[in-house]
Amino acid sequence: MLAPTDAFRTSVCAILRWGPADVMLTSHGYHGKMYFCIVHQHNTIMNLNSILVHTHSGLRWVALILIVMTVIRAGNLMSSKENFEFRTKSLALFAMIAMHIQAAIGLVLYVISPTVQFGATTMKDSTLRFFAVEHIAMMLIALVLFTIGYSKSKKKTENRAKYKTVFWFYLIGLLVVLASIPWPFRGLGAGWF
């Protein structure tokens, strides 16, 4: 019996006509299966994976800069009576959009990347566990925080309350994102860009 994720990956391969699903069930586990797909698809998956990893990695800086700018701006204006105007609202919106794009790319990577593996050692190996469980779980929590923060701020009527909501939700979201990025110094095999 296939695990749900395996079944999903297998059906993705089958839909894309990479060959019958049972041929992919090698004794080498997921890596072996992926290798089969890659060989038969002239490296399409690996090229796509490489493009997406680089995009995902570089876009982190765009997302981080937008989130930091939003937090600083909302924090500065939190105690003022200034209108929750176009600039702060746009910054918060673009930060949230950047996070959604990251999540969309990340979810594709989660399905195709050889870095995400499920097996007996997944939870014992810190790198495998990080990419299979920790990274996705924490980033989804952060995404929910940004989305709730943004929509709650829109519903508030008072300006200070709007800034305060954006400030706290985005600050906590930022801390979650910073803690969940595979920074090079964490020894997870990822780079700076």
> Residue type at 103?
A
**Which span sits near ligand HEM by CB under 6 A: 4-12, 19-27, 79-87, 110-118?**
110-118
CA distance 137 to 178: 14
Rounded to the nearest 10 degrees, how much is the dihedral formed by the CA atoms of 30, 31, 37, 40?
A: -140
Closer Cβ to ligand HEM, 150 or 163, answer by number: 150
Q: Which of 71, 84, 106, 171 binds ligand HEM (CB under 6 A)?
A: 106
CA distance 58 to 181: 12
Closer Cβ to ligand HEM, 21 or 101, answer by number: 101
Closer Cβ to ligand HEM, 13 or 109, answer by number: 109
CA distance 193 to 178: 15
Write out the binding residues for ligand HEM, residues 25-54 only, by CB under 6 A. 49, 53
Helix (H, G, I), strand (E, B) or coil at 51: helix
CA distance 28 to 119: 11
Closer Cβ to ligand HEM, 66 or 78, answer by number: 66
**Which span sits near ligand HEM by CB under 6 A: 10-18, 30-38, 40-48, 95-103?**
95-103
Report CA-CA distances (Å) from 26 to 10, 108, 110, 119.
12, 23, 21, 14
Q: Which of 63, 77, 91, 145 binds ligand HEM (CB under 6 A)?
A: 63
Answer yes or no whether residue 191 interacts with ligand HEM by CB under 6 A: yes
CA distance 132 to 118: 7
Q: Which residues bind ligand HEM (CB under 6 A)?
A: 49, 53, 56-57, 60, 63, 99, 102-103, 106-107, 109-110, 113, 115-116, 131, 135-136, 139-140, 177, 181-182, 190-191
